[in-house]
Amino acid sequence: MSDEQDTHQVPTPSLWPIGFAIGIACILVGLVVSIPVLIVGALIALVFGFLWVRDLLTTHPVTSAEPGIDEQPRPATVGDVAAPVDRATFLSLATIGVGGLIGAGLTLPVLGFGVLPSFMGEGIQTSHANLGPITNFPEGQYVIATFLENPDQGEVSRRTAFIRNNGLTDAGVPSFTTIYSRCVHLGCPVQPNGPIDEQAKKEVNGVELRPVLAASFGCPCHGGLYNSEGNRQAGPPVRSLDRFEFSIVNGDLILGRTFSVANVEGVGASARIAKYYKAYPGVHVDGVERFLYPIPTPGSTGS
């Protein structure tokens, strides 16, 4: 038996896992705080992850205990037990695999709750609400309209809209601001910031109308604040208030389905609305943040 003992070169400790962990931490923080932080974290994780895997897959040469002697691998003979080729690499890759499974188990449910609503949508609204003659809406003043969106469903379909008659556009077409009363943060009911004329309240064909001097709109739940056009001014909401599509039929104001609004430029009849398909509260419809939601929203249109 030879006195010489072969030794294998053990992989030296690496800092790549630490850098990879820092990158993952930046990604998680960036999802909440800032998109640039998310991008930087992704780059750090990719670079250090690549270096880590490359280091693990690098073949480490077999060395001899006696300097100057190159040990050649000896072919296995009958009766020999094959030893693991690179046990350290196998254990490292197995650890990464198990860690990946654990990470997926923790991350996928969270992503499901955040992403699936974008796939599911809120369904197609087919009902239309007749709010009565447009003469019920004084020009330049908001009216709180409460109505049943679908009378067959009863009170569960009761909706509230803030309606303002803007007069005529430059093209001579009647213009109305038709704001939906649900906050785009978490869907709480939004209140007009201004006195409500309860004495002038009237009900026409099941539609309750109450004039209000609304300088702005506010959410009492979490402090969301919107200006008179529905644009976000402060608080947690991520976009402007949703609106109803509308039409004028035989002199009556008809509200259709709701749609989401990124922002409104201008006021009244001259306003230009960045209009998108209906999105859930808390969902961005424009900007870099929209890429967090898998279903693309159509481009904005002026109206």
**CATH no. for residue 229?**
2.102.10.10
Whether residues 168 and 283 fall in one domain: yes
3-state secondary structure of 68: coil
At residue 298, does pLDDT exceed 50? no
Its pTM surpasses 0.75: no
Q: Which of 94-103, 118-127, 234-243, 288-297 has the lowest mean pLDDT?
A: 118-127
Between CA 127 and CA 298, with CA 303 as vertex, the angle to 5 degrees is: 75
Please tell me whether residues 46 and 156 are part of one structural domain. no
Please report, rounded to a whole number, the percentage of residues in the chain having pLDDT higher than 90: 31
Q: Is residue 298 included in any domain, yes or no? A: no
Residue recorded with tokens 């960036």: 30
Q: What is the mean pLDDT of residues 97-108?
A: 68
| Residue finishing a domain among 120, 137, 167 | 120
**In terms of domains, do 106 and 168 share one?**
no
pLDDT digits (tens, 9 = 90+) for 61-91: 555 445 554 555 555 555 554 444 466 666 6
Q: How far apart are CA 208 and CA 135, in angstroms?
A: 15
Q: Read out DSSP for 182-243?
A: B-TTT-PBPEEES-B-GGG-EEETTEEEEEE--SEEE-TTT--EEETTS-EEESS--SEEEE
31/153 same-domain check: no
Q: Taking the chain, what is the end-to-end CA distance rounded to the nearest angstrom?
A: 92
Query: CB within 8 A of 272, min separation 6: which ones?
Result: 264, 265, 266, 302, 303
What whole-number distance in Å separates Cα of residue 225 and Cα of residue 233?
A: 5
Structural domain of 46: 8-61+86-120
Closest by Cα among 139, 224, 220, 228 to 179: 228
Same domain, 138 and 280: yes
Output the average pLDDT for the chain: 77
Mark whether 133 and 113 lie in a shared domain.
Answer: no
Other C-beta atoms closer than 10 Å to the C-beta of 13 total 6
The confidence score (pLDDT) of residue 296 equals 43
Domain-embedded: residue 206: yes
CA nearest neighbour of 295 among 117, 124, 123: 117
Q: Tens of pLDDT along 258-281?
A: 999 999 999 888 889 988 888 888
In the numeric block, which tokens belong to residue 241? Answer: 């208030």
Q: Is the torsion defined by CA of 30, 34, 35, 41 positive or negative?
A: negative
Residues 188-193, mean pLDDT to the nearest whole number = 93
Higher pLDDT: 271 or 96? It is 271
Instruction: Identify the domain boundary among 120, 142, 164.
Output: 120
The pair phi, psi for residue 286, each rounded to 5°, is -150, 180
What is the rounded distance in angstroms from the CA atom of residue 65 to the CA atom of residue 51? 30
Q: Which residues have CB under 8 Å from 193's CB, separation 6+?
A: 214, 215, 216, 217, 218
Placement of tokens 């929203």 in the chain:
297
Q: How many domains does the chain have?
A: 2
Q: Could you tell me if 147 and 286 lie in one domain?
A: yes
